[in-house]
């Protein structure tokens, strides 16, 4: 018992005893006096009031102690309940907690973080005209009526666009970031591998490059095989943000400007809003010598076969002595609530030959630009890109010829325009719909040589590319014995399709899509007319991304 409570209880008991003793107790205390009845009553009343006061104090103290004990018991019960609840969180609550935790979808090894990527693709292709291609369509072939194979349809089931990638990142210090990225698929074929556009040697290497980023000086270095600097970026000039048309076709579509090739690139950013970059990239040149052999007096070398030391002997490699040089500027800005990306660049190329015992050089290149605008933020995006110049054919999906030769054997770059535009609609059901159109278009680079026979008769011999004196007479029937030169003037395409993501979760992502495209192949006019071929294609793709969600 509490000391104060014991004292109060004792006092009350003493008073009660006195009350019980009544008048005799008083009489014994004062033997010589005899109190009156009124005095006795007054004394008893005072004692009773004292007892009642002491009782009230005791009751108040007991009540306070009971309240304190109740509060302590409640706190202890609450703590015990919280501890019990923490130990028995329901599975769905635990899942929500785990989902809110920072992602750890990386592998950590000796201070670096490794992020895996890629997908398994099961795909289908139907082509109205057989192109003898897998998932990637060659747009620089003769698909006219004289081609018997092109008069048959084609069906292909393939998994060769399946892809694997790995990104390795490490920070030597807070201001310096190192990275390495590799990506490959299975579309390579030994005798068709070349250095022209995708540098697709076996295994088909898409990307293999390293990067260094210095935050304090806003400088960025890239070395290795990557998207060419002519490829449209979504943000700044940042590797990994390149924007391709959302097609299933592995060659994308005519009008798309791109290449994947070895390069050395240096980029400077100003506040992450303005970017300036220069890239030295692997050079190659595609040639068309002409429908007629050059005069016997012209001794010309412009390509060489592979030696087998790194190049297949069936490959032809152009003679090039300096790299392609690309200078690019890009900017990002928020205008009327829209994140807009715009860029412009210049391309310099050099074409080389050995002509009549001497080295000959010709230059070309062009100017390009790109734009990404969310017409309706998070709903409808517009994408536009293009490149115009001479000798630029290998930078377009159409893969048209870059240079030809005049009768003297001198290199003559061909003027070309590559352009593409498209809309992508994002819906709330994890589905994107797209509509794109693009074209690669060349101008003629034609030459005529007049020869005089011994009898004085003159003959005009056509040379170059797109010469109207070339014969197209045999292009309209596969039974014709006439010639079909059919230099390709333009390849254009309109395509539409969608991508849907039926599953996004802890086990990765599923994605499937359909694409339809209509392509027109148009040749230059020649003797007999202007050949035209129309190709309708349907693509279907089912992809599983085990490392993405």
Q: Would you say residue 425 has pLDDT above 60?
A: yes
Q: Residues 88-102: what's their mean pLDDT? A: 57
> Which among 40, 498, 548, 460 has a CA at the least distance from the CA of 247?
498
Q: Residues 84-101: what's their mean pLDDT? A: 58
Q: Residues 472-483: what's their mean pLDDT? A: 95
| Tokens 């068309």 sit on residue | 288
Write down the pLDDT at residue 64: 76
Q: Residues 351-355: what's their mean pLDDT? A: 96
Write down the pLDDT at residue 415: 98
Q: Residues 84-107: what's their mean pLDDT? A: 61
Q: Considering the chain, what is the average pLDDT of its residues?
A: 89
Write down the pLDDT at residue 31: 43
Write down the pLDDT at residue 452: 86
H or E stretch covering 172: strand 163-173
Q: Residues 479-493: what's their mean pLDDT? A: 96
Q: What is the DSSP letter of 474?
A: G
- Report the alpha-carbon distance of residue 472 to residue 487 in Å, rounded: 9
pTM above threshold 0.85: no
Q: Residues 305-331: what's their mean pLDDT? A: 87
Find how far residue 379's CA is from the centre of its chain: 18
Write down the pLDDT at residue 18: 54
Residue 278 has a CB neighbour count (10 Å cut-off) of 15
C-beta separation of 526 from 512 below 8 A: no
- The domains of the chain are located at 3-98, 107-545
Write down the pLDDT at residue 27: 39
Write down the pLDDT at residue 38: 76
Q: Would you say residue 101 has pLDDT above 70?
A: no
pLDDT category at 99 given cuts 50, 70, 90 is low
Q: Is 240 exposed, middle or buried (0-12, 13-18, 19+ CB in 10 A)?
A: middle
- Report the alpha-carbon distance of residue 541 to residue 549 in Å, rounded: 18
- Report the alpha-carbon distance of residue 318 to residue 326 in Å, rounded: 20
Write down the pLDDT at residue 89: 53
C-beta separation of 196 from 286 below 8 A: yes
Q: Would you say residue 311 has pLDDT above 90?
A: no
Q: Would you say residue 207 has pLDDT above 90?
A: yes
For the segment 12-34, what is each residue's pLDDT rounded down to a tens digit?
Answer: 555 445 544 444 433 344 444 45
For the segment 35-71, what is each residue's pLDDT rounded down to a tens digit?
Answer: 567 777 787 777 777 777 777 877 777 877 787 777 7
H or E stretch covering 74: helix 37-87
Write down the pLDDT at residue 23: 44
**Percentage of the chain lying above the pLDDT 90 cut:** 72
Omega before residue 412 within 30° of 0, cis: no
Long-range contacts of 261-265 (CB under 8 A, 24+ apart): 261/195, 261/197, 261/198, 261/199, 261/225, 261/228, 262/199, 262/224, 262/225, 263/222, 263/223, 263/224, 263/225, 263/226, 263/228, 263/229, 264/222, 264/223, 265/221, 265/222, 265/223, 265/226, 265/229
In CATH terms, the superfamily for domain 107-545 is Porin (2.40.160.10)
Write down the pLDDT at residue 11: 52
């Amino acid at each position: 018992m509490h000391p104060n409570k014991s004292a109060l209880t004792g006092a009350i008991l003493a008073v009660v005893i006195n009350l019980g003793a009544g008048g005799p107790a008083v009489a014994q205390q004062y033997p010589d006096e005899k109190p009156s009845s009124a005095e006795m009553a007054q004394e008893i009343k005072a004692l009773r009031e004292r007892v009642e006061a002491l009782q009230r104090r005791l009751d108040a103290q007991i009540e306070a102690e009971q309240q304190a004990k109740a509060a302590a018991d409640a706190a202890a019960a609450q703590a015990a309940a919280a501890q019990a609840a923490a130990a028995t969180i329901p599975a769905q609550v635990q899942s929500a907690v785990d989902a809110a935790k920072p992602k750890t979808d990386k592998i950590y090894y000796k201070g670096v973080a490794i992020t895996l990527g890629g997908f398994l693709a099961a795909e289908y292709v139907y082509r109205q005209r057989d192109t003898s291609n897998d998932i990637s369509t060659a747009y620089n072939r003769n698909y006219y009526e004289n081609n018997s194979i092109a008069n048959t349809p084609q069906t292909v089931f393939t998994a060769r666009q399946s892809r694997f990638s790995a990104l390795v990142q490490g920070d030597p210090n807070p201001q310096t970031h190192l990275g390495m990225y590799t990506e490959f698929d299975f579309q390579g074929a030994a005798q068709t591998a070349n250095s022209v556009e995708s540098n697709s040697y076996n295994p088909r290497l898409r990307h293999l490059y390293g990067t260094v980023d210095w935050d304090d000086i806003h400088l960025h270095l890239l070395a290795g095989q990557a998207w060419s600097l002519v490829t449209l970026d979504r943000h700044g000039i940042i590797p990994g943000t390149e924007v391709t048309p959302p097609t299933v076709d592995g060659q994308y579509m005519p009008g798309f400007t791109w290449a994947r090739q070895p390069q050395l690139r240096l980029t400077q950013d100003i506040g992450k809003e303005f970017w300036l970059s220069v890239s030295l990239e692997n050079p190659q040149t595609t040639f068309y010598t002409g429908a007629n052999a050059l005069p016997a007096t012209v001794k010309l070398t412009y390509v060489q076969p592979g030696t087998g030391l790194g190049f297949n002997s069936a490959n032809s490699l152009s003679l090039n002595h300096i790299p392609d040089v690309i200078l690019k500027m890009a900017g990002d800005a928020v205008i009327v609530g829209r994140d807009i990306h715009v860029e412009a660049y210049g391309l310099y190329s050099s074409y080389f030959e050995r002509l009549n015992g001497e080295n000959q050089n010709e230059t070309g290149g062009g100017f390009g630009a790109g734009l990404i605008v969310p017409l309706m933020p998070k709903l409808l995006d517009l994408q536009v890109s293009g490149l115009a110049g001479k000798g630029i054919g290998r930078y377009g999906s159409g893969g048209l010829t870059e240079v030809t030769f005049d009768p003297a054997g001198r290199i003559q770059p061909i003027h070309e325009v590559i352009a593409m535009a498209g809309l992508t609609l994002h819906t709330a059901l994890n589905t994107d719909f797209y509509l794109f159109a693009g074209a690669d278009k060349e101008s003629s680079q034609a030459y005529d040589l007049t020869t005089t026979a011994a009898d004085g008769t003159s003959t005009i011999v056509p040379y170059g590319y797109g010469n109207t004196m070339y014969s197209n007479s045999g292009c309209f029937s596969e039974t014709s014995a006439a010639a079909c030169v059919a230099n390709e003037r333009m390849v254009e395409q309109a395509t539409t399709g969608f991508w849907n993501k039926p599953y996004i979760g802890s086990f990765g992502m599923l994605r499937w899509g359909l694409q339809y495209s209509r392509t027109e192949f148009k040749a230059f006019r020649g003797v007999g007319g202007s050949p035209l071929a129309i190709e309708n294609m349907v693509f279907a793709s089912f992809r599983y991304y085990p490392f993405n969600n």
